[in-house]
Amino acid sequence: MSETKADGFSLNCLISLCSITAFEFDTIMYPADQYWWQWNERNNLEGYTKTDERHLFTWQPHGSQFTIIENVPEDYDIYFPLARQ
């Protein structure tokens, strides 16, 4: 998943082998005291919600990438099927 931020919105793209889906959420604050963190086997830092232990963040320091994990909405607005070769 890739993420682009502009004008207070976050544009997320979920890419599979067959299609690209783009959806947008308002950018929100994530209070640090609501999450706990641990290093995974690939030396990425993962953040989990304290309330339901849901994996929500991954930081890849070697690639300088921070990912917020979101569910793909059922009513997403933009869907791009990819041509098969």
- Is 49 buried (19+), middle (13-18) or exposed (0-12) by CB count in 10 A? middle
With beta carbons less than 8 A apart as the criterion, state whether 48 and 55 touch: yes
Q: Residue 18: which domain range?
A: 2-81
pLDDT for 1-20, tens place per residue? 444 444 444 555 555 556 66
pLDDT for 18-77, tens place per residue? 666 777 778 889 999 999 999 999 999 999 999 999 999 999 988 788 888 887 777 766
First CA to last CA distance, the chain: 23
Q: Based on the structure, what is the number of domains in the chain?
A: 1
